[in-house]
Chain A
Amino acid sequence: DIQMTQSPSSVSASVGDRVTITCRASQDISSWLAWYQQKPGKAPNLLIYAASSLQSGVPSRFSGSGSGTDFTLTISSLQPEDFATYYCQQANSFPLTFGQGTRLEIK
């Protein structure tokens, strides 16, 4: 299985801050990577697919980059509704696997 490791596991930030979350794959996954946002009691919501493509309806302050084994999700200017948990997910090979999550908290 491909292991996905996110860092940090949690981060505190303020409204207006720029935040970057990193996801590392245990082997080359090309651009087969997606990012999700999950709020408490809700299903995950797709933000980014193919490593850097913004899902329809997702604000442009969210962006993704990377290929191979190292990927980043950046939120350019945090808004109150962005405080949530973020997951990366690889789709290069089965089984599809997720990172352990990064909890973004209000400072």
Chain B
Amino acid sequence: QVQLQESGPGLVKPSGTLSLTCAVSGGSISSNNWWSWVRQPPGKGLEWIGEIYHSGSTNYNPSLKSRVTISLDKSKNQFSLKLSSVTAADTAVYYCARDFRDSSSKTDAFDIWGQGTMVTVSS
């Protein structure tokens, strides 16, 4: 079955760039799914960051759009997140997730998640 695994630095300096990768195993990143990033600050709720399709099309949360880039590498079957100009407010657990979407049945949900990776912004 499809599994997702996040990786990247756990500590990023303020004003720096947060970079994470999500490796997809057990399936192809070129399947008919969108691939998303979701984050969760400590003790708080979930925030959708953005998504990418295998064609390279992306959608971003406007609240983060000026700082976010999501890309994919089909040869490595993985997709990535870059968040620039980070502050302490960007400290969170970052999850990658598969977004299963089917307009005919009004289905759009995150059916597979990575385990999450904690990123702390601190000097």
Binding site for B on A (CB under 8 A): 1, 30-32, 34, 36, 42-46, 49-51, 53, 55, 87, 89, 91, 94-101
Nearest Cβ distance between residue B76 and chain A, in whole angstroms?
22
**Interface contact B115-A43, CB-CB below 8 Å:** yes
**Interface contact B109-A98, CB-CB below 8 Å:** no
Q: A32-B108, A49-B107, A91-B108 are in contact. Are A43 and B45 (CB under 8 A)?
A: no
Instruction: Specify which of A45, A50, A97 is in contact with B48 (CB 8 Å cutoff).
Output: A97
Question: For chain B, what secondary structure do more than half of its interface residues adopt (helix, strand, loop), or is it mixed?
Answer: strand
Question: For chain A, what secondary structure do more than half of its interface residues adopt (helix, strand, loop), or is it mixed?
Answer: loop
* A-chain residues with CB within 8 Å of residue B115 when the two chains form the complex: 42-43
Bound CA–CA A87/B95 (angstroms): 15
* A-chain residues with CB within 8 Å of residue B97 when the two chains form the complex: 43
Q: A43-B95, A43-B114, A43-B116 are in contact. Are A91 and B109 (CB under 8 A)?
A: yes
**Pairs across A and B, CB under 8 Å, 6 listed:** A30-B106, A36-B110, A49-B111, A95-B48, A96-B108, A101-B46
Q: A43-B115, A95-B61, A95-B63 are in contact. Are A100 and B107 (CB under 8 A)?
A: no
**Interface contact B45-A49, CB-CB below 8 Å:** no
**Interface contact A101-B45, CB-CB below 8 Å:** yes
* A-chain residues with CB within 8 Å of residue B45 when the two chains form the complex: 87, 98-101
